[in-house]
């Protein structure tokens, strides 16, 4: 008498259970996407087996068939999705099915709750790599029987999606995975179709998975449209439902726009349409084909440090790498697509890939093609380019400091806010065209937001004289200006660093002479004040950049900007704060009154306290934190009491 296999009970990881509950009870779902996700997983399993078989000759027999089968059972109301791929071991079932071992899970749960349409929900499922769990949207129970290639034992996994699952030993003659869905009763009004129907399955496969590189075979009752099988003899048929021909190998005239859009959705799990499609082909010494897509919106993890990116790499139609990061520079990580080369060996390793001259050549070619396409979009489709820039502009700015070979192509693509027009972004070239005749530098100011920058005291003189200033409000801008020293012969100049020269040479000379006379007159006042503020201030001088404000803080040309210093202070291992230069407005009544009080009494505490208060006011005006809030409160109260 055979002994029943031992059944072990497990609980889903807490986050997985919460996600399952959200998906099963979601009111906004395109339930048919479950098949897209399970077929995609099966395709990945076939890819992995095919790749491992390149280096492990005995892994599969020579006549192994790489295929996916859909097997409906009308009587039992089940649908089985079978693949002959790599399969899973018992431990892999626990790791991949019982757990969502992936960053961004909390973000996913939040966005699933916020999604207000079936399309948005379907898009999220693909984006976050949790497609298997969509099976519970159409099933009361799911059973997996899987056997990993190279292993003799198989494992059975079963769950009703209620927060628990079971594992037991099973029998399976060949490697691969069978996923059997015990389907919910059809309820078209609530989006639950009859997923045992051949025509329904064929429609879904054509819609989402037509370009899968392996045959998706229907194995079930032969049906005609509208035919009722109850009164007829059931005949089993097998029929391939997808075309399988790689879309990137077809001529442009053979592929419709909708074909490209469908392939993009399959490739990226992004249900929105791509912003631009780039079918590319290179012939000559090296031959390769590529089909690239510029998405219409940024993925949630675009700026996650650990997020994986890269194009699918094929060698003679065989996928050798799912995400090859070496085909495009990091700042173009948002580009989706495939690259197929007939010159690459099938069993190329990641280490060899990085050194391969074919890959280096492809990278240069693809980067140039993408940048050329963006330049064309900017020139001919400005609204579309603005959409692109709003989503990916931050990533593009990263390239200025890393892709020196293409810096000349990148710079014309950059867009900036400026003081010229609050509603319109500007290129560097447009800024240069608007420069005053006597102006030699491109002025800019960095900060947390346009509002903070626009109200900075550092802008006062530039505003008064109508000099345009670029507003750099993104954190990446601080890295950008470290690499962008000049454009078309004009040096980039921060209005918070060093001395700012405005006006003609004669005007500048006259202004400098006037400041020198004033500083000589204010010498004792400036020296005494600097000694009192020595902990925070290394020099006090009179300013030519202030108009309405009494004071501001600046840095030397080689020092960090206040914005960058704040960013570094937020990070780990940040150094001590810089001692700054304090500039005073010699025309401001407050400064003149403090100077008069100092002349009357060099020990006047009001003068020293007021100067200390001015430092804090200058910090607040630029968006920086004050060093000692308690001291600021005390100074303010003391001065108010003396005034009142």
- Average pLDDT, integer, range 575-587: 87
614-618: average pLDDT: 92
What pLDDT band is residue 128 in, cutting at 50, 70 and 90? very low
Q: Please, what are the domains in the chain?
A: 7-242 (3.30.565.10), 248-385 (3.30.230.80), 394-494 (3.40.50.11260), 505-643 (1.20.120.790)
Q: What is the pLDDT of residue 556?
A: 92
The confidence score (pLDDT) of residue 125 equals 45
pLDDT tier at 330 (50, 70, 90 boundaries)?
Answer: very high
Report in angstroms the alpha-carbon separations of 519 from 161, 277, 542, 597, 600: 78, 62, 7, 17, 18
Is the pLDDT at 345 greater than 80, yes or no? Answer: no
| DSSP state for residue 416 in the 8-state scheme | B
Q: Looking at residue 644, what is its pLDDT?
A: 66
Q: How far apart are CA 388 and CA 377, in angstroms?
A: 9
pLDDT band of residue 105 (cuts 50, 70, 90) is very low
For the beta carbon of residue 2, count every other beta carbon within 10 angstroms: 4
Residue 511, pLDDT > 60, answer: yes
Burial of 509 (0-12, 13-18, 19+ CB in 10 A): exposed
Cross-strand pairs, 337: 292
**pLDDT, tens digit (0-9, with 9 covering 90-100), for 418-474:** 999 999 999 999 999 999 999 999 999 998 899 999 999 999 999 999 999 999 999
Q: Is residue 155 scored above 90 in pLDDT? A: yes
* Predicted pLDDT of residue 163: 81
Q: Residue 16 is inside which H or E element, if any?
A: helix 14-24
CB neighbourhood size of 114 (10 A): 9
pLDDT > 90? residue 166:
yes
Average pLDDT over all residues of the chain: 86
SS3 at position 33: helix
Residues 49-84 have pLDDT tens digits of 988 888 888 898 888 999 999 999 999 999 999 999
pLDDT at 126 over 60: no
pTM over 0.85: no
**Token pair 């020099």: residue:** 539
Asked if 414 contacts 397 with a C-beta cutoff of 8 angstroms, the reply is yes
Please answer whether residues 142 and 80 qualify as being in contact, where contact means their C-beta atoms are separated by less than 8 angstroms: no
- pLDDT attached to residue 434: 97
Radius of gyration of the chain (CA): 33
Over 178-246, what HEC string results? EEEEEECCCEHHHCECCCCCHHHHHHHHHHHCCCCCCCEEEEEECCCCCCCHHHCCCCEEEEECCCCCC
d(C-alpha 17, C-alpha 164), whole Å: 8
Distance CA 40, CA 68 (A): 10
- Residues of the chain with pLDDT > 70, as a percent, come to 87
Least confident of 292-296, 354-358, 594-598: 354-358
Lowest mean pLDDT among 6-15, 109-118, 487-496, 631-640: 109-118
Q: How far is CA 185 from CA 156, 196, 201, in A?
A: 24, 11, 16
Q: What is the pLDDT of residue 571?
A: 64
């Amino acid at each position: 008498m055979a002994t029943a296999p031992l059944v072990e009970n497990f609980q889903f990881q807490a986050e997985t259970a919460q996600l399952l509950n959200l998906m099963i009870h979601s009111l906004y779902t395109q339930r048919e996407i479950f098949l897209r996700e399970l077929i995609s997983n099966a395709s990945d399993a076939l890819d992995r087996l095919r790749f491992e078989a390149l280096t492990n000759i005995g892994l599969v027999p020579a006549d192994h068939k790489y295929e996916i089968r859909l097997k409906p059972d009308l009587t039992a109301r089940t649908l089985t999705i079978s693949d002959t791929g790599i399969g899973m071991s018992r431990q892999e079932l626990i790791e991949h099915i019982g757990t969502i071992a992936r960053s961004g899970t909390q973000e996913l749960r939040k966005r699933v709750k916020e999604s207000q349409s079936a399309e948005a929900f379907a898009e999220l499922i693909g984006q976050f790599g949790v497609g298997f769990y969509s099976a519970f949207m159409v099933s009361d129970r799911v059973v997996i029987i899987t056997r990993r290639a190279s292993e003799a034992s198989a494992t059975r996994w079963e769950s009703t999606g209620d927060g628990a699952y079971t594992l037991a030993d099973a029998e399976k003659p060949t490697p691969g995975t069978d996923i059997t869905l015990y389907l919910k009763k059809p309820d078209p009004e609530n989006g639950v179709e009859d997923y045992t129907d051949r025509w329904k399955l064929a429609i879904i496969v054509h819609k989402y998975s037509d370009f899968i590189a392996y045959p998706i075979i229907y194995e079930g009752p032969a049906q005609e449209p509208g035919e009722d099988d109850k009164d007829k003899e059931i005949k089993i048929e097998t029929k391939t439902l997808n075309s399988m021909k790689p879309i990137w190998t077809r001529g442009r005239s053979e592929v419709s726009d909708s074909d490209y859009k469908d392939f993009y959705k399959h490739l990226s799990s992004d249900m929105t349409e791509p912003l631009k499609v780039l079918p590319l082909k290179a012939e000559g010494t090296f031959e390769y084909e590529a089909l690239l897509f510029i998405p219409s919106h940024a993925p949630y993890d675009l700026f996650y440090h650990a997020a994986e990116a890269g194009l699918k790499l094929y060698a003679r139609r065989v996928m050798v790498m799912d995400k090859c990061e070496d085909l495009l520079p990091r700042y173009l990580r948002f580009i989706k697509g495939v690259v197929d080369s007939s010159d690459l060996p099938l069993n190329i390793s990641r280490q060899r890939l990085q050194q391969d001259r074919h890959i280096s050549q492809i990278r240069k070619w693809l980067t140039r093609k993408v940048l050329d396409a963006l330049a064309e979009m900017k020139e001919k489709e400005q609204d579309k380019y603005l959409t692109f820039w709003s989503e990916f502009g931050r990533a593009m700015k990263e390239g200025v400091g890393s892709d020196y070979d293409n810096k000349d192509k990148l710079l014309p693509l950059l867009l900036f806010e400026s003081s010229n027009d609050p509603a319109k972004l500007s290129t560097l070239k447009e800024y240069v065209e608007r420069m005053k005749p006597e102006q030699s530098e491109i002025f800019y100011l960095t900060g947390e937001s346009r509002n903070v920058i626009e109200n900075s005291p550092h802008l006062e003189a530039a505003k008064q004289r109508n000099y345009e200033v670029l507003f750099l409000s993104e954190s990446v801008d601080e890295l950008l200006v470290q690499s962008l020293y000049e454009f078309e012969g004009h040096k980039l100049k921060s209005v918070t660093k060093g001395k700012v020269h405005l006006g003609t040479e004669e005007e500048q000379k006259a202004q400098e002479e006037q400041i020198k006379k004033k500083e000589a007159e204010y010498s004792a006042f400036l020296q005494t004040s600097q000694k009192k503020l020595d902990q925070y201030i290394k020099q006090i001088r009179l300013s030519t950049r202030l108009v309405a404000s009494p004071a501001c803080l600046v840095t030397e040309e080689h020092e960090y900007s206040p914005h960058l210093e704040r960013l570094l202070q937020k990070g780990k291992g940040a150094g001590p704060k810089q001692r700054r230069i304090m500039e005073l407005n010699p025309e401001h009544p407050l400064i003149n009154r403090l100077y008069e009080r100092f002349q009357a009494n060099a020990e006047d505490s009001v003068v020293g306290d007021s100067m200390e208060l001015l430092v804090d006011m200058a910090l607040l005006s630029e968006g920086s934190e004050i060093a000692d809030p308690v001291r600021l409160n005390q100074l303010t109260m003391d001065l108010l009491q003396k005034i009142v």
